Chains A and B, each alone.
Chain A
Amino acid sequence: MSKPVLIVGGGPAGLSAAHALASVGQSVVMVEKEDRLGGAPILSGYAKLIPSGEWARDAIGSMVARVEQNALVEARLNCQVNEFSGAPGKFQAQLSDGSKIEAGATILTTGFTHFDSINKPEWGFGTYDDVVTTTQVEQMISTGGGVRCPSDGRKPERVAILLCVGSRDRQIGREWCSKVCCTVSANLAMEIREELPDCHVYIYYMDIRTYGLYEDLYYWKSQEEFRVKYIKARIAEVTSDGQRLIVKGEDTLVKRPITIPFDMVVHAIGMDPNVDNMKLGAIFDVDLESHGHIGRGSNYSALATTSRAGVFVAGAATGPETIDDSISQGQAAAMAALATLNQNIGAA
């Protein structure tokens, strides 16, 4: 009987890896620092997922249940890895709950951190109640409370969604594209229009990256069926005249600066590297790539590798990633971990 695989992080990628390993009879210890499994979609209360349209708590919830019910997976909640040593086939981990475990291989599915809009003060978050994030609007929808202006609970008549908040921005050292926000915002815009048919929803963008099949399913559909307006303009500042929010942009089509009032401004927040990545990199002795995510060892010959043999990585820990790709990568990492175990059978 081989040693278990240590999976760090219980989000979509980790859940997928755990399930894959358990389904071929491999035992798993899953360490999760929060008090429940599910990762960002559960912890942040996402509404409907793309592209299935399923509610996050159903879709990801079923993944959690599947793992929780599997005897081969031992989940340690409220727990973190403090020390990590050894070699493939014989890793030792010291956990924050005081216990020690041995593992044949390790998969880091430590995910990302939502960009904190407070780092972009000129866009008004933290200054004005009615400037919110996509995650907060997801919350309004998933709790059933509906989309309302936090300042006074009124239904917004005009909503602006600003793309690339915390993405593609050298001013704050976040040059990457967060990959999911365009599609998420198109989806969110449709949900807002569904709930509030009289509400005008504008999306301000630099480029629309609803790649692959999302082009017509989200970008086109949001226009054709839901009359969402897209304006190619990056907003300069969000202020308030005491009544409404004031948004300053350039209508790049007519090449003139414009000032537009809104009831609610939504930041389509990007995906930062996990704030703990420096620490994780040191504990697991794996290199980070230049943006601060966990670096991939190889892009082609071996999937899911890091700079350290026997330590693998999957999902948004490697960079902005969608939920379904995170799930795929979890499976790839499981396969890679299994291979390591096989090569090291009998390691002391």
Chain B
Amino acid sequence: MNQASAAIGDPLSESPAVAREELEAVFADIQSHPLYDHELNGCLNCGICTATCPSAHYYDYSPREIVQLLWTENLEGIHDAMQEKIWACAQCYTCAARCPFGNSPGGLVMIMREAAIKHGMESAKEVLRPFSRVMLKVISTGNQLAPNMINAEHFPDWGPHISKVDAPLTVLRKAIPMPTLHTLETAWEVNLKTSLELYVIWEESGVLDQLETMDENLFDVITDIMEEKRDDYDDWLEDQEDEDGDDDD
């Protein structure tokens, strides 16, 4: 029964072994993902995925290894890869474009990342911490990125000037000849109604549950913001009805 652990277990490791039940539960979630069979057909061990993988150049990461671990159902190896390796993948999908068997190692990595989140793995939490600003932005507005997020403080390696013409950001944004881009808080102006529609998608597709598992604080902040937005929208709807009523008089 414990063949896998016997084969993979590291006798020198001091970290406590992960319970077999947990390993199985994680793998069960991976395997039952609706895309699992679509992304994994088998493996010829040819290495074309790793050959073309940008992350393999810089990290201890190999898409071929990921595919092999999954295909051979190496539960400990899978769990171990989920602690760090899966986050090295750059998601370019070159591996998927090349695989002669039609696998998508990049897609499998996403399935594993989703599972890491579902199981609230510490590794996932750590990885996501720098992402919280982006997450807040995209979930509450429907826009991933805002002009005022790009500044020398957050991106010191991009140079001292975000714009080569020196002027206040507000003015520079207004000087973009697309009216939808005269914004600071979102990359383009998103209609309130639109943000709320997206929020329904987050609620209904289980994304908010993912978020709650990962970062309860952020979850609370977002739900508060969205409640306010919903109130604002309801107020607007009421005003509309009033106006309609006025028109009828």
Binding site for B on A (CB under 8 A): 122, 164, 168-171, 206-207, 232-237, 248-252, 255-258
Contacts and interface: CB of A to CB of B under 8 A. Distances in A.
8 contacts: A234-B44, A234-B47, A249-B47, A249-B48, A250-B48, A250-B51, A250-B64, A255-B64
Contacts of B51: 233-236, 248-250, 257-258
B64 A234 contact: no
A236 B45 contact: no
Contact of A236 (B41, B44, B57, B98): B98
B236 interface: no
Interface stretch (B18-26, B99-107, B132-140, B195-203): B99-107
Given A206-B46, A234-B47, A255-B65, A168 B100 contact: yes
B56 A257 contact: yes
A169 B50 contact: no
Interface in B89-139: 94, 97-102
Contact of B52 (A170, A237, A255): A237
Contacts of A258: 51
B186 interface: no
Contacts of A206: 44-46, 100
Contacts of B99: 170-171
A169 B100 contact: yes
Contacts of A169: 100
B40 to A, nearest CB: 13
B141 interface: no
B53 interface: yes
A164 B100 contact: yes
Interface residues of B, number: 23
A343 B46 CA distance: 52
Interface in B27-73: 41, 44-53, 56-57, 62, 64-65
A292 to B, nearest CB: 18
Contact of A171 (B47, B64, B94, B100): B100
Given A236-B52, A257-B53, A252 B102 contact: no
B202 to A, nearest CB: 35
Nearest to B94: A236
Contacts of A236: 48, 51-52, 94, 98
Most A CB contacts (10 A, CB to CB) among B41, B46, B57 go to B46
B64 A257 contact: no
Contact of B102 (A170, A235, A237): A170
Contacts of B94: 236
Nearest to A235: B51
Contacts of A257: 50-53, 56-57
Contacts of B52: 236-237, 248, 257
Contacts of B64: 250, 252, 255
B162 to A, nearest CB: 34
Contacts of A251: 47
Nearest to B96: A171
A235 B100 contact: no
Contact of A170 (B46, B65, B100): B100
Most A CB contacts (10 A, CB to CB) among B45, B50, B65, B101 go to B50
Contact of B62 (A164, A234, A248, A255): A255
A250 B49 CA distance: 8
Contacts of B62: 250, 255
A175 to B, nearest CB: 9
Contacts of A249: 47-48, 51
A244 B99 CA distance: 26
Nearest to A253: B47
B45 A171 contact: no
Contacts of A122: 98
